[in-house]
């Protein structure tokens, strides 16, 4: 019998504007549509329940509301979501309920209402504190917005705050990565996530790079800023527990851990992904198309795939190497161990007890190293530990 679903991701697609680098499933609507969103989610849930994938009594251990900009939906949005999901699913005493927010729309009133609804973790899309950089990206919160948002969260009783920052930005912007790191550290939040700038073809930035109006990502700058951040955050007491994520006091993202551990999860909303081994599925990306489908009683699913044994093996290697848990030495086999020892000589990995783990330098080459290790058959051996 497949393990029950204990983790749910809910997509809130609305944004006041689209950031220059964004390729997510978002729709520009400065006012959002909390009522329409809740109605659509409730309709999708009814469809999922009819299919027997997610029972009314399924007790959640993690709930993550991402976007888009969930905070754009207003103070009552999490009450709407709680009503759609039902109180039984949200009654676990250790439920981690995360909601993403942008600083400009994360007001004291919203923070209090979210906390009253059950939200106990907030992820703030700060990205930078440098005003020209924020304008270039299309961000609206200004350099002082993050401080107000962190204060609002703490005043509302939400101590578990995560901050997102972007590195690898064009040098012409004049942004100091060191200064952005220091300003983030000054908040003493328990969690920081770092994301390197990527240029997606369908985005405004992608088109600008293709036309020569913006430079491509500088690989060396990307590398240097990632390693600098890893060093500085470690010195400040953060555990670098996954490629992009740093935590203090053991406050790791439990929801993301479900993804990395290969546990089943359900995605609700347009563009959301679901997984129950060996099947991965994803919903239609367009908000209006998604809404029309679910309100008509149809499935929101756009496509699905069933992982082959080979694909699942590569995925286990890749997911294992992306966290500080790494891979069990017993799973590698002689050729895998020999390869791991080569990485250690290159400072790409280290051994900790019975595990092999990548270093920050190794994480910069995660995709290549995972493919190399899978090629020698490591992912096909039973994992130990």
**Span 20-73, pLDDT tens digits:** 888 888 898 888 899 999 999 999 999 999 888 787 778 999 999 999 999 999
Backbone dihedral region for residue 24 (phi beyond 0: left; psi -120 to 50: alpha; all else: beta): beta
So what's the pLDDT on residue 378?
57
Burial class (CB in 10 A: 0-12, 13-18, 19+), 45: buried
pLDDT value at position 24? 87
Average pLDDT over the chain, rounded to whole?
Answer: 94
User: Quick one: pLDDT band at residue 230, thresholds 50, 70, 90?
Assistant: very high
d(CA 194, CA 207): 24
Alpha helices in 118-203 (DSSP H): 131-137, 145-155, 177-186
Angstrom distance (rounded) from CA 367 to CA 362 = 10
11-21 confidence digits (pLDDT tens): 999 998 888 88
In sequence order, what E strands does the chain have? 7-12, 14-15, 27-28, 62-67, 96-101, 121-127, 160-167, 191-196, 239-242, 245-247, 266-268, 273-276, 279-283, 301-306, 327-328, 349-352, 355-358
Give the model's pLDDT for residue 89: 94
The pLDDT assigned to 382 comes to 43
The domain locations on the chain are 7-260, 310-380
CB atoms within 10 A of CB 342: 12
The C-alpha atoms of residue 261 and residue 279 are separated, in whole angstroms, by: 15
Instruction: For residues 277 and 311, give the distance between their C-alpha atoms in angstroms, rounded to a whole number.
Output: 12
Contact 124, 149 (CB under 8 A): yes
Sheet holding 121-127, edge to edge: 239-242, 245-247, 191-196, 160-167, 121-127, 96-101, 62-67, 7-12, 266-268
Which of 179-183, 196-200, 292-296 has the least mean pLDDT?
196-200
Query: What interhelical angle do 287-295 and 34-50 show, nearest 10?
Result: 50
Q: What is the pTM of this model?
A: 0.95
Looking at residue 1, what is its pLDDT? Answer: 60
Instruction: Give the count of alpha carbons within 13 A of 208, CB side only.
Output: 15
pLDDT of residue 385: 36
DSSP 231-288: HHHHHTT-EEEETTEEESTT---HHHHHHHTT--BEEESTT-EEEETTEEEEE-S-HH
Beta-carbon contacts of residue 164 (< 8 Å; ≥ 6 apart):
123, 124, 125, 126, 127, 192, 193, 194, 195
Three-class secondary structure of residue 130 per DSSP: coil
What pLDDT sits at residue 174? Answer: 96
Strand ranges across the sheet with 355-358:
327-328, 355-358, 349-352
The CB density around residue 90, as the number of other CB atoms within 10 Å, is 17
242-280 per-position pLDDT tens digit: 999 999 999 999 999 999 999 999 999 999 999 999 999
Report the alpha-carbon distance of residue 8 to residue 152 in Å, rounded. Answer: 26
Quickly name the fold that domain 7-260 has: TIM Barrel (3.20.20)
Residue 298: the pLDDT is 96
């Amino acid at each position: 019998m497949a393990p029950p679903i204990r983790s749910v991701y809910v997509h809130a697609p609305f944004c006041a504007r689209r950031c220059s680098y964004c390729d997510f499933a978002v729709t520009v609507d400065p006012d959002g549509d909390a009522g329409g969103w809740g109605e659509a989610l409730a309709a999708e849930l009814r469809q999922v329940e009819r299919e027997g994938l997610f029972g009314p009594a399924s007790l959640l251990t993690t709930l993550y509301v991402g976007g888009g900009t969930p905070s754009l939906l207003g103070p009552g949005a999490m009450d709407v979501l709680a009503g759609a999901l039902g109180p039984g699913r949200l009654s676990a005493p250790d439920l981690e309920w995360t909601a993403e927010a942008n600083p400009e729309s994360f007001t004291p009133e919203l923070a209090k209402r979210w906390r009253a609804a059950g939200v106990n973790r907030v992820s703030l899309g700060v990205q930078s504190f440098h005003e020209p950089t924020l304008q270039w990206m299309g961000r609206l919160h200004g350099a002082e917005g993050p401080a107000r948002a962190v204060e609002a969260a703490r005043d509302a009783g939400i101590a578990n705050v995560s901050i997102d920052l972007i590195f690898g930005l064009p040098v012409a912007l004049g942004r100091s990565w060191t200064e952005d790191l220091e300003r983030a550290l000054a908040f003493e939040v328990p969690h920081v996530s770092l994301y390197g700038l990527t240029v997606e073809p369908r985005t405004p930035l992608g088109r600008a790079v293709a036309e020569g109006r913006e430079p491509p990502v500088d690989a060396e700058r990307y590398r240097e800023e990632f390693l600098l951040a890893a060093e500085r955050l470690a010195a400040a007491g953060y555990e670098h527990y996954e490629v992009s994520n740093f935590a203090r006091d053991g406050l790791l993202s439990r929801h993301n851990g479900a993804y990395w551990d290969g546990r089943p999860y359900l995605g609700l909303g347009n563009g959301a992904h679901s997984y129950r081994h060996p099947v991965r599925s994803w919903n239609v990306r367009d908000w209006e198309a998604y809404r029309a489908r679910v309100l008509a009683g149809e499935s929101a699913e756009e496509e699905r795939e069933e992982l082959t044994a080979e694909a699942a093996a590569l995925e286990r290697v890749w997911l294992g190497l992306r966290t500080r848990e790494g891979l069990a030495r017993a799973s590698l086999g002689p050729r895998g161990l020999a390869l791991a020892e080569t990485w250690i000589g290159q400072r790409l990995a280290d051994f900790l007890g019975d595990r092999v783990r990548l270093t920050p330098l190794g994480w910069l080459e995660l995709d290549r190293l995972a493919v190399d290790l899978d090629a020698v058959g490591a992912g096909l051996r039973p994992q130990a530990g």
